[in-house]
Structure 1
Amino acid sequence: MKNIIVTGTSRGIGLELALLFANAGHNVLALSRNPHPELLKNGNITFLSVDLADENALNGIVDFLHNWKTVDAIVHNAGALVLKPFQHLTTEDFERVYRVNVFGVAALNRICIPFMKKGSHVVTISSMGGIQGSMKFAGLAAYSSSKGAVITLSELLAEEYKEQGISFNVLALGSVQTEMLAEAFPGYQAPLKAHEMAEYIFDFTLKGNKYYNGKVLQVALSTP
């Protein structure tokens, strides 16, 4: 039984992932602004309403972690997206996306690392749009650049904490049929459903750090 934190659990991959971990007997701390009814019904899931864009709102997590005492894994799944032509993007748009996709990831890591031990695994969900040299799409300047930033952040943390045995890896996802995909590419049908990708992330979170640290794995069947 492991203690696992999953962010962005109100819908899509995060919801499916939290349920997979819980139904496999693990303790799950589910973080998102709004709860899904399925989360509240599961005895292995603790839900905390948290806005990851507000670093002060994360303070309540520390109190909970003192009860857990250890964190075995984190899956940074939460994401914010703005779809606008670059000329129309404002500084506020960039800040909103980066506060969730980059600053929120960094802040939650800072909170959790004191509770992590050798063998703990931090998995950050990025996007193929954040991979250097990959196909890029108009209107996603804020989102894709933030996903590139979080890749570099994870690589740096893997180096900084390798002596403590804490692993940091990134999964750069291709298209998955989620609400966020529908926002970015209206009408597009992805080859994978949320629960299918969640199954892959579930296995990688529990086992991937045996084989990888500081790595970015591209998990994509199609473009976008």
Structure 2
Amino acid sequence: MSINDKVALITGAGQGIGRAIALRLANDGADIAIVDMNEEKMQAVAEVARALGRNATTFKADVSKRDEVYAAVDHAEKALGGFDVIVNNAGIASIQAIADLTPEEAEKVFKVNVEGVLWGIQAAAAKFKQRGRKGKIISASSIAGHEGFPLLGAYSATKFAVRALTQAAAKEFAGDGINVNAYCPGVVGTDMWVEIDRRMAEITGAKIGENYDKFVGGIALGRAQTPEDVAAFVAYLAGPDSDYMTGQAPIIDGGLVYR
């Protein structure tokens, strides 16, 4: 699954799943553009990638802003001398009962999780076409993009939307040699799940850790997912072994949601 000397841009790469994806792609031979809002965390990831012998660059961008996403893609091409893969990983959680969602909360999660992916798809496809090259577009959905969960209604809606964008873009860009896929993690031991568990406890009155343990207890493989589990699958999507795959959003959750 060699991606030697390919250039990959990963959003939300300062921590968690995004960090694991960036370092896995670097370890597999790619030069990486790290996009995030936290400059200190981005620099730390870049240093590790460079220690692996790869080129790495950072770019601060808010993925909900179209111009900033396009600027990040342009920066990656100029700084690293190419552009082959984008991983639209950046996302935020929204934990709230549907009846209590405010316009502000709904707008925020949709702008980051849906518009952030849309702008990434647009910017990457435009760059691939400009360069006359094939490319890979990979976006973060979720098990919540296959099944709606209580207190995660808005979040689930955004992740269903990512699947829709993935399917439509795959059909629109297939003729240009652009593969468009998504990945659907489950319960990953990251700061996002810490926040999900905290908010669920706050709303339901459960003890901290109780909801997290309940979800993990339903995983067939018997453990929570790690960021590296997700990164391994994204590396497959980024590499040549997935060249005949497009428009898909497979679940990788250890056996929790089955479709």
Report the TM-score when normalising by structure 1. 0.89
Moved more, 57-66 or 189-198: 57-66
Q: Which has the larger radius of gyration?
A: 2
Asked whether the 8 Å contact 1:51–1:57 carries over to 2, the reply is yes
* Structure 2 residue 159 is the aligned partner of structure 1 residue 147: yes
Q: 2:100 aligns with which of 81, 88, 100?
A: 88
Query: Is 1:55 aligned with 2:66?
Result: yes
Partner Cα separation in structure 1 for residue 30 and residue 73 of structure 2: 19
Q: Equivalent pairs: percent with the same residue? A: 27
**Which residue does the alignment assign to 1:179?**
191
More helix, by proportion: 2
- Shift in alpha-carbon separation, 1:105–1:208, aligned structure 2, 3 A: farther
Query: Could you tell me how far 1:168 is from its partner in structure 2?
Result: 0.5
Which of 18, 21, 24 matches 1:20?
A: 24
Give the conservation status (yes or no) of the 8 Å contact 2:7–2:83.
yes
Name the residue aligned to 1:167: 179
Which 4+ residue blocks in structure 1 deviate beyond 3 angstroms? none
Gaps of at least 5 residues in structure 1 are: none
In structure 1, distance between residues paired with 2:249 and 2:25: 22
Q: Return the match for 2:13 from 1, 9, 29.
A: 9
- Per-residue CA deviations over 1:151-182 (Å, capped at 9, x if unaligned) read 00110011111111101011122222111122
1:59-208 map, 5 Å:
59-67=70-78, 68=80, 70-116=82-128, 117-131=132-146, 134=147, 136-186=148-198, 187=209, 188-189=212-213, 190=216, 191-207=224-240
Q: Distance in 1 between matches of 2:81 and 2:249?
A: 29
How far apart, in 2, do the equivalents of 1:148 and 1:26 lie? 30
1:8–1:149 distance in 2 versus 1, CA, 3 Å: same
Q: TM-score, normalised by structure 2?
A: 0.78
Q: CA RMSD in A?
A: 2.0
Contact kept in structure 2, 1:77 and 1:124, CA below 8 Å:
yes
The count of aligned residue pairs is 221
Do residues 29 (structure 1) and 33 (structure 2) align? yes
